[in-house]
Every structure is written in structure tokens, then in C-alpha cells.
Amino acid sequence: MAKNIQGIRGMHDVLPEQTARWQFVEQHIREVLGAYGYQEIRLPIVEKTELFKRSIGEVTDIVEKEMYTFDDRNGDSLTLRPEGTAGCVRACLEHGLLHNQTHRLWYFGQMFRYERPQKGRYRQFVQLGVETYGMADADIDAELILLSRRLWLRLGINDSVELQLNSLGTIAERAVYREQLVAYFNAHLEQLDEDSQRRLQSNPLRILDTKNPGMQALVEAAPKLMESLGEESIAHFKRLTDTLDALGIAYTINKRLVRGLDYYSKTVFEWVTTELGAQGTICAGGRYDGLIEQLGGKPNYAVGFAMGMERILALLENREDLDNKQAVDAYMILVGEGAQKAGVLLAEEVRDCLPGLRLQMHCGNASFKSQFKKADKSGAEYALILAEDEVQNSQVSIKFLRTDQPQCTVSTAELIEMLKQ
């Protein structure tokens, strides 16, 4: 026998019994985004490698070591998207959506990063991305946080997550801060690990994001960007926290929150949980006003976030009520050749009349007993039985699989009436 071919490490199948949970979350996502007037945008999974290099930044984990990059047959370098923001900005620029307009957009789909697979960290994973364009004030920053929180409430996970906020200021303010930070780390050079020494020149803010436990004390004592913000950045941040305060939404200010990507400015936020071990961030985002210009557009405002679906699903792990228990309402049993022929017609007629009914018809020749077992296993409420007698009399028998109501034999019209109720 030929050897089985396995799936790729870090890339997962979602089996039929698990899809109901995904659909449950997806349904709430659509409803919540709809409630705030957001529109869906669908984007390609592959983009030019250059797009990610230019937007995410050359000196980031993603671009340095996590991208799935390949040459296509023309020799163009392409990359499976590691995140959606770059592609979304690219598409909006390409189609002229960013001239004197505001947009509230979302997308949902697979992202790819060559990371070490572990719980909550995969090589193919699914993100919901939400991006807004053309809005300068902190009211839109707040809206994104309110929207994500509404989703946690809907999903019943609000008590498991905490909101962390920071402000990264403007690009000019960050440049000043960067000098201070480099001076500080230079004074403690021997305490920096290899990665951080390398980053000291290229991207020193990223050192603050280190996961190395040996460097925590050093990073903790580093100068804080929040303390060197200008008036406008402070006012922007205050407007956001005032809104959250007015709505009674709890948050902590995490002055070390810098996010992994280069393109953020002013507001950054993360929703984190302590229930998933090291992979605690379920949703992260912020303002990225500089990116549109960086990708060749006119300067414009942008705020967004991305949410990791697998981590949300992991928080819902013990919600057995969400499992796919019952895929069908009725199961049609067909005994004999005549019944098999008549059954197709009857099943189609029932589906015409009752579009909401989930009716599964037995396919293939099998004994009544074995078909009956399948009907029971399907989770259906009713077995609709067609044997030679029923076919002769243009009738159908109904057996109630979940109640002790007695079996009955009725006409097609009566059947449809009964199923309607």
C-alpha cells in the first residue's frame, strides 16, 4: 500500500465536528461588525514580497525569518501573506479608495508564518482583520476597542480578557525617544542578548518587546516613550481613555507595549488573556498613520486590529454546547428499487417546499435495519420511510426518532404540513 501523505506541520484541518464552533464565532463577528457599519473586503493570499518588506519592515521577526517566500515561474518573488494590513492598504490604494474618503473594512482568512508550532501558534492560522482609513481622531481608535469588546461579550469570553493600552507617539517623537533608548541600552550592552544587540542599531524599540526572561529587568527600567510624548499625542491618548472611562471599560496602560511591527503610531492596544499560557494575545492593533504614505499613497489616517481565531477558539474550548451535534432534521429511508426512484423526487419536492429543513436522503442499496441505524446516528428528529407499499399508495411513513409519538403514514401534502410545524 502507498504511504500516507501527512499535512504540513503547524497547518491544521478543521474537522466537521469542530466547524460549528468556527461558524458560531464567524456569525457573531459578522453581526457585530455590521452593527458598527463595517464592510467586508476580500484580498488575495499571495502578494509581492516587496509589499511586506516595505510595510512590515526589514528588521522584524516576520520579515527576517517567518515569511513563506517563493519565486513564481516568471522569477517574481511572492510571499504568502503573514498578515493582512499590507494587502488591504495595497488594494485600497490600487482601487483609489483612499482619496477624501473614510472606510471601515474587515477581512477574514488564512495567514502564514514560519514559526515554531505550539499551542496557539501555528504556521497557517486565521485572522479577522479590521482596518479603518481617513479618520484622525481618537474616537475611531475607541470604536475599534468597543467593537472588539462587544464581540467578547457576545462570545462569553469578556471575563477572560484584559485590555492593555499604550501610545507610541508620532514618528518625530519616536525618533527622539529612540536616541534615549539607544543610549540607555548602550550603557548596559553586556546585558543584551544577541538578537537585541543586533536590533540596537536597526530597531531598538523592538528590544522592549523581547520575550527573553533574562532581559526583563533591564527592559523594565528603560526610559518610557509615554513620558516623552508631545501635547497632541497626549491629548489623543486622553480622548481615548476618557471614552473608555465614560463607558466603564477597564484597561491597563502597559508602557512596554510596542507591538512587533514598525508601522504603528499613537494608539496601540492588545487584548490579552492569562488562560492560554505564553500565547496570551488574542487581538492586537493600533494606529498606523504612516503606512499609507510608506506604500506610495498620499499621507492618510489608518487604525486597525487583527484577532487570532485559533486563540479565540481555544478560549471556547470547554463550550461543548457549541459542538456540531445535529446536522440534519430528517433522514429519508428508501427500501427497494421503486422507492429509491420515487425517493429522489419526494426529497426534492420537500426541499422545494421547506427550504429551511435539513433533509438527508439515504444513498445506495442497504437493508432497512442498517438505514435505520444511520437515521438514528444522523441526529435527525424524523425518519421518512419509503418502501414498496408507500410508493404504490403515493404515501410516506414518518417515524419519530426522539419522542414516543407513534409512527404514521401520510400523503406528501400532509407530510409537508407536518414538517412545517
Interface with ligand ATP (CB under 6 A): 83, 113, 115, 120-122, 125, 127, 260, 279, 281-284, 306, 308, 310-311
Which is closer to ligand ATP, CB of 125 or CB of 185?
125
Which is closer to ligand ATP, CB of 83 or CB of 143?
83
* Least spacing, CB of residue 194 vs ligand ATP, in Å: 19
Q: CA 120, CA 136: separation in Å to the nearest integer?
A: 34
Helix (H, G, I), strand (E, B) or coil at 9: coil
Which is closer to ligand ATP, CB of 92 or CB of 258?
258
Cell of 75: 522569477
Please name the residues in contact with 22: beta carbons below 8 A apart, sequence gap of 6 or more.
14, 309, 313
Which is closer to ligand ATP, CB of 306 or CB of 361?
306
Is residue 373 within a helix (H) or strand (E), and if so which, with residue range? helix 368-377
Q: CA 15, CA 60: separation in Å to the nearest integer?
A: 34
- Indicate the residue whose CB is closest to ligand ATP: 308
Which is closer to ligand ATP, CB of 28 or CB of 239?
28
Which is closer to ligand ATP, CB of 207 or CB of 330?
207
* Least spacing, CB of residue 247 vs ligand ATP, in Å: 23
* Least spacing, CB of residue 309 vs ligand ATP, in Å: 8
Which is closer to ligand ATP, CB of 32 or CB of 375?
32
Residue 88's nearest CA partner among 54, 56, 130, 30 is 130
* Least spacing, CB of residue 49 vs ligand ATP, in Å: 17
Phi-psi region of 420 (alpha: psi -120 to 50; beta: other; left: phi over 0): alpha
* Least spacing, CB of residue 148 vs ligand ATP, in Å: 11
* Least spacing, CB of residue 307 vs ligand ATP, in Å: 6
* Least spacing, CB of residue 78 vs ligand ATP, in Å: 20
Cell of 46: 499571495
Please name the residues in contact with 79: beta carbons below 8 A apart, sequence gap of 6 or more.
46, 47, 48, 49, 51, 52, 67, 68, 69, 70
* Least spacing, CB of residue 368 vs ligand ATP, in Å: 48
Which is closer to ligand ATP, CB of 119 or CB of 298?
119
Which is closer to ligand ATP, CB of 52 or CB of 372?
52
List of E strands, 143-244: 162-167
Cell of 145: 476597542
Cell of 192: 543584551
* Least spacing, CB of residue 99 vs ligand ATP, in Å: 28
Encoded amino acid at 101, one letter: Q
Q: What angle do CA 124, 129, 132 make, to 5 degrees?
A: 155
Helix (H, G, I), strand (E, B) or coil at 303: strand
Cell of 235: 491629548
Q: CA 372, CA 400: separation in Å to the nearest integer?
A: 12
* Least spacing, CB of residue 82 vs ligand ATP, in Å: 8
* Least spacing, CB of residue 124 vs ligand ATP, in Å: 8
* Alpha-carbon distance values, 96 to 39, 54, 234 (Å): 16, 20, 32
Which is closer to ligand ATP, CB of 210 or CB of 300?
210
Burial level of 1, CB count in 10 A (0-12/13-18/19+)?
exposed
Which is closer to ligand ATP, CB of 204 or CB of 308?
308
Cell of 143: 470604536
Helix (H, G, I), strand (E, B) or coil at 267: strand
Is residue 79 within a helix (H) or strand (E), and if so which, with residue range? strand 77-80
